[in-house]
Amino acid sequence: MSKVFVLDTNHQPLNPVHPGEARLVLKQGKAAIWRRFPFTVILKYAVPAPQVEPLRVKLDPGSKTTGIAVLHDASGEVIFAAELSHRGHKITEALATRRARRRGRRQRKTRYRKPRFDNRRKKGEGWLPPSQISRLSNVLTWVRRLSGLCPITACSMELVKFDMQQMETPEISGGQYQQGTLAGYEVREYLLEKWGRQCAYCGAKDVPLEIEHINPRSKSRDDRVCNLTLACHPCNEKKGTQDIRDFLKHQPDLVQKILAQAKAPLKDAAAVNVTRWALYRRLQALGLPIECGSGGLTKSNRTMRGLPKSHWMDAACVGQSTPKVLKTTGVMPLLIVAQGHGSRQVTNGDRYGFPKGKPKQGGRVKGFRTGDMVKAVVLTGTKKGAYTGRVLVRASGSFDIVTKTARVAGISFTSCRVVQRSEGYRYALGTPVPEPQIR
């Protein structure tokens, strides 16, 4: 079961406790709520020389979602789990829109604009695009935050999603490695990601998939990963040793699609590979000893322990330090979505890229800021009731509150109380892991 983080009177992390114990100390007035997400309490009395047990944070970096897990190595208990969704694609879209508008303005008959390209910073060594910097910053922010909430003494991360060189040249690592417990895991995981976990021929999903040679192995002897795809058992058996052009002679469009996808690089894996060493170096700067693992090892650990596929489950299975038994029953992952801190534009723009409307005012109104999580209790009127959600502030003091189900307009600031300040993330609770069925 997910634990509750505890801080002492000096804001130093103590051992996480069971939610029932946290509820008891809150009821007795011995502690107060420090954070809502992740839920943290702070003690109101001094604890003499507390004995804390070391924990390990484990990361499964992804281009869209990063899995996070905090484990107790000795017991195998998952203390905390989260799935962090990045906003790199939104940054890419915003930059593309800005670039198109600037280009459009230059091509129209407008006033002379001085060239500004000489003012731009040159791309030096270690340069990364803004979308990747955002992903790195999100991961580092949460590692630092968790280090301040619980006694983390070590870190494990998936350094490479796939061992590309080993897949292209299997003999490079020696036959003994190929016949070990990781045999085939690197290739299978790569193919599952590349082909969308579905049959390349009929598109079947959620069925057992088999590795299939696009050009028959009996004719080409080609075992490279660029000649492999996934197929369900009926399609694999039906194709047999036929050439793909003969097997799909009545579907020429599908043939071209499969051949093109076989040669195309894995975009998401490439994004992870670009930033893996940058993330490794920045985690090293935090002073934590780092253990590294590959995607094949992660899948091997998860499969041998019989755990379902999810981002935080993958994070819990990263590295050789993974305990033989992982206690995941009752763990409710925290779903974190990166939203940023608003736009830097002084004014909004029209479809042609020209400013419209008045310049934006200050972000804080009556002590509230857009994005803060608030609880509003309205005692009278048509809006009578209690509402908890994100607030949208206005200079008039009449706010909107976005709850889980609706958007409530016209709530006075006098009825609102801050639950948690805006920090660029949106939170939700995932589905808890059920207890195993006894047969």
Domain presence at residue 281? no
Q: Assess contact for 363 and 111: CB atoms under 8 A.
A: no
- Tokens standing for 279? 């993330």
Domain presence at residue 170? yes
For the residues 130-150, what does the mean pLDDT come to? 93
Average pLDDT, the chain: 84
Greatest CA separation for the chain: 80
- Tokens standing for 33? 């709520």
- Residue scoring higher pLDDT (223 or 299): 299
- Which strands form 152-160's sheet, in the order they lie side by side? 290-294, 152-160, 55-60, 65-72, 77-85, 334-338, 425-429
Express each pLDDT in 149-171 by its tens digit: 999 999 999 886 555 544 444 44
| Per-position DSSP letters for 392-414, written without gaps between them | E--TTSEEEEE-SS-EEEEEEGG
Q: Assess contact for 282 and 141: CB atoms under 8 A.
A: no
What domain range is 215 assigned to? 164-265
For the full predicted model, state whether its pTM sits above 0.85. no
Paired with 85 in beta bridges are 65, 337
* CATH classification at residue 381: 2.30.30
Domain presence at residue 218? yes
Express each pLDDT in 12-71 by its tens digit: 999 999 999 999 999 999 999 999 999 999 999 888 878 899 999 999 998 889 999 999
Express each pLDDT in 99-112 by its tens digit: 888 777 777 766 77
Using the 3D structure, point to which of 52, 73, 91 is the last residue of a domain.
Answer: 52
Predicted pLDDT at 105: 73
Domain presence at residue 379? yes
Express each pLDDT in 188-202 by its tens digit: 777 887 788 889 898
User: Is 391's pLDDT higher than 60?
Assistant: yes
Predicted pLDDT at 175: 38
Predicted pLDDT at 436: 59
Domain presence at residue 330? no
For the residues 221-237, what does the mean pLDDT come to? 84
Q: Distance between CA 90 and CA 94 in Å, rounded?
A: 6
Predicted pLDDT at 79: 95
User: Is 123's pLDDT higher than 50?
Assistant: yes
Q: Distance between CA 392 and CA 370 in Å, rounded?
A: 5
Using the 3D structure, point to which of 220, 241, 265 is the last residue of a domain.
Answer: 265
Split into its structural domains, the chain has a count of 3
Predicted pLDDT at 163: 52
Using the 3D structure, point to which of 265, 288, 312 is the last residue of a domain.
Answer: 265
Domain presence at residue 60? no
Amino acid type, 163: D
Per-residue pLDDT band at 439 (split at 50, 70, 90): very low
User: Is 180's pLDDT higher than 60?
Assistant: no
Predicted pLDDT at 20: 93
For the residues 172-182, what does the mean pLDDT come to? 40
Predicted pLDDT at 181: 42
Predicted pLDDT at 172: 40
- Tokens standing for 346? 């002084």
Predicted pLDDT at 6: 95
Domain presence at residue 410? yes
User: Is 174's pLDDT higher than 80?
Assistant: no
User: Is 269's pLDDT higher than 80?
Assistant: no
Predicted pLDDT at 106: 72
Instruction: Please report, rounded to a whole number, the percentage of residues in the chain having pLDDT higher than 70.
Output: 89
Per-residue pLDDT band at 177 (split at 50, 70, 90): very low
Per DSSP, helices labelled H in 156-241 are: 164-168, 175-178, 185-194, 217-220, 233-239
- Residue scoring higher pLDDT (207 or 162): 207
Distances (CA, A) of 210 to 198, 229, 237, 259, 309: 10, 8, 10, 18, 18
Paired with 425 in beta bridges are 338
Domain presence at residue 389? yes
Predicted pLDDT at 179: 41
